[in-house]
Amino acid sequence: MKIKDEKRNSDSAFMVKPKEFSCDDCVAKMNEYARYVLGEKPMDESFEMIETHLILCSLCNEEFQSLLKTTKHLQKKN
């Protein structure tokens, strides 16, 4: 049971229509979102839209996974 997830969906995800948040928007913010996931950035409202988009869009999800890898790799160097 994932009651928590369902609640999240009804609370936030549907406030933004998916088509209003395009792949371009997602890619543009992806870098910031990756840094948020890695704990470098505080939560931002737009990250919720990205989160939702990544669930719905496998293309962006793939891109995000590779970006996340790269970002993690860069972090290790620092």
**Binding positions for Zn ion, 11-40, rule CB under 5 A:** 23, 26
State both tokens at 33. Answer: 């979102």
Q: What is the DSSP string of 35-78?
A: HHHTTSS---HHHHHHHHHHHH-HHHHHHHHHHHHHHHHHHHH-
- Please report whether residue 60 would count as binding Zn ion according to CB under 5 A: yes
Nearest residue (CB) to Zn ion, 62 versus 75:
62
* Locus of tokens 């962006």: 60
- Please report whether residue 57 would count as binding Zn ion according to CB under 5 A: yes
Nearest residue (CB) to Zn ion, 57 versus 68:
57
- Sites of contact with Zn ion (CB under 5 A): 23, 26, 57, 60
